[in-house]
Chain A
Amino acid sequence: MIRDITLGQYFPAGSIIHSLDARTKILGTLLFVIELFVVDSFFGFAVLATFLAAIIAASKVPVKFIFRGLTPVFAIILFTFVINLFMSPGRVLWHWWFLTITVEGVRRAFFMAVRLVLLIIGSSMLTLCTKPIQLTDGLEKLLKPFKAIGVPSHEIALMMTIALRFIPTLMEEADKIIKAQQARGADFESGNIFRRGKALIPILIPLFVSSFRIAQELALAMEARCYNGGGGRTRMNEIHFARRDALAGVLMAASLGAAIAIRIL
């Protein structure tokens, strides 16, 4: 169950999207997120969704795999949906006791839900199609110009890689601990919210202890391989922009143009 979370995972498929330069993909994802906030109509979302669908098709990542990663975040989407549905002032559509649904509320609830879903799928495409190591290299190179004003680009990139790398590790660890406590009769599914909250303690404490242990082991392993920061470090595979990256850039610019056009017109 918990192992099924695919958020932040890499899916090897060897497609044209996979072979793009990591910098192109990072910038592309960033642009996509900006576009999601630029457009303000369902028509705009439809255009962006088509664009995203084309990318997914080109990436050869199975749609089923992407959507399975969405299931855990579904709770958050549902939460925002409900909040928006009931909390928006406007023309009353339906009223019962203290619950009120307005026309604006319905519109906004769907609007935010679509935006969130596109946001999550769009950004998970980045990690699905880019190896963590390439992602770090790309990020580090992108941040390099900011080094002049004191941005520790290498450290930021490294922290991000480690965080991404640890998502599956901690998931596995949590899975093990959950099973061990279940075997000792722990019950996570019944009782009121306080009982359920309390039921999480036997999982959270061992998980916390484990993550410190894993971090300590990682730090030692890095030191043992003479890691001492990014200075003077060279790479076996330097990343290069290719013609396909230029093409992707043109497409990205076009999509941004389209988003702005939809907003203004």
Chain B
Amino acid sequence: MAIEVKDLQYTYSPGLPGETKALDGVSFNIDDGSICGIIGHTGSGKSTLLQALDGLIKPSDGEIIIDGISLTDKETSLVDVRKRVGIVFQYPEYQLFEETVAKDVSFGPSNLGLEGDELEAAVRSSIELVGLDYERIKDKSPFELSGGQKRRVAIAGVIAMNPGILILDEPTAGLDPTAHKEILSMVKRIHETRNIIIVFVSHNMGDVADMCDKVLVMNEGRIILDGTPRYVFGQKDVLDEIGLGVTPAAEIVGRIRERIPEIDSDVLSMEEAAASLAEFIKRKRS
């Protein structure tokens, strides 16, 4: 499964005083099995793009092709799209509504026509995949769980539909550091087990560099950078100009380089920063 987006346009309230161009000629490709990070400020068009990818809004112009089917084609049934694409919105825990966790998670798959044992198997495997104990949690009310657990249940509700593409809009927003780490490792686990495309929106540059093998940078409805994390976070000037910044490790190394320019600037993670500093010290001593 792959995603292909060509020259996407979207305008909110066209012809009215509140008219805003949310997407202005967005084009990119995402290959099968990759994790793609999207970064950009609030209002840069990220959420609009994600909604267009799931057919929730109709773009004014352009084309989206997922797994060979065109979303922008009028003939395409939305059920076919939703079988392929699962989207987890920000604060997904606010969409929970059923009496029990198991019932809530089965809402999506049963809408796609799953029944009986097949349905239960899908619910069980997705609850286990998000790191919860199926037997202990299935009969609980989703409203009595903790914040982190609620979010996992909501994510399980989307992966239970077995999508080939999973879109996560800031899955770690508003969580404490422990829950934050757990959600990230959960995303990695989902990616490894199901081998699906993951599209991941975040404001945390460290997470994006750490998780993704492709990064898209959005600004004012356009994609201004598209490439590997190493390439994207190497464009410090561009990122600084739109006020996004680089990863914490690159930031630290950048500050040190202001004093000691000989240090290698090509770092993303803390490990790489440590290695490049160690190497510099070694060189100095010898």
* A interface residues, Cβ below 8 angstroms from B: 4, 62, 64-65, 68, 176-177, 179-187, 201-202, 205-206, 209-210
Contact = CB atoms under 8 A, between A and B. Distances in A.
Interface string B74-89: 0000010010001101
A157 to B, nearest CB: 28
B94 A183 contact: no
Contacts of A206: 94-97
A64 B17 CA distance: 11
Contacts, number: 60
Interface of B: 13, 15-17, 51, 54, 56, 79, 82, 86-87, 89, 92, 94-97, 107-108, 111-112, 143, 157-158, 161
B111 A187 contact: yes
Given A185-B82, A201-B97, A202-B107, 9 more contacts: A4-B13, A62-B17, A183-B87, A184-B111, A184-B158, A184-B161, A187-B111, A206-B94, A210-B94
Q: Please indicate which of the listed interface residues B86, B92, B95 has the most CB atoms of chain A within 10 Å of its own CB.
A: B95
B143 to A, nearest CB: 7
B12 to A, nearest CB: 8
A209 B94 contact: yes
Contacts of B89: 176, 179-180, 183
29 contacts: A62-B16, A62-B17, A64-B15, A64-B16, A65-B16, A65-B17, A68-B16, A177-B94, A177-B95, A179-B56, A180-B89, A180-B95, A181-B107, A182-B56, A183-B54, A183-B56, A183-B82, A183-B86, A184-B82, A184-B107, A184-B108, A184-B111, A184-B161, A185-B82, A185-B111, A185-B112, A186-B107, A206-B96, A209-B143
A185 to B, nearest CB: 3
Contacts of A210: 94
Contacts of B54: 183
Nearest to A11: B17
Q: Please indicate which of the listed interface residues A179, A181, A182, A184 has the most CB atoms of chain B within 10 Å of its own CB.
A: A184
B115 to A, nearest CB: 14
B98 to A, nearest CB: 8
A186 B16 CA distance: 31
Contacts of A209: 94, 143
Nearest to A181: B95
A68 B16 CA distance: 11
Contacts of B86: 183
Contacts of B112: 185
A65 B157 CA distance: 39
A181 B96 CA distance: 9
B95 A186 contact: no
Contact of A184 (B13, B51, B157): B157
Nearest to A6: B16
A197 to B, nearest CB: 15
Nearest to A199: B111
Contacts of A202: 95, 97, 107
Contacts of A180: 87, 89, 92, 94-95
Nearest to B167: A183
Q: Nearest 4 CB-CB pairs, A to B?
A: A185-B111, A205-B97, A184-B108, A180-B95
Given A62-B17, A184-B107, A179 B51 contact: yes
Q: Please indicate which of the listed interface residues A183, A201, A206, A209 has the most CB atoms of chain B within 10 Å of its own CB.
A: A183
Contacts of B97: 201-202, 205-206
A201 B13 CA distance: 29
Nearest to B56: A179
A209 B79 CA distance: 28
A227 B161 CA distance: 47
A59 to B, nearest CB: 14
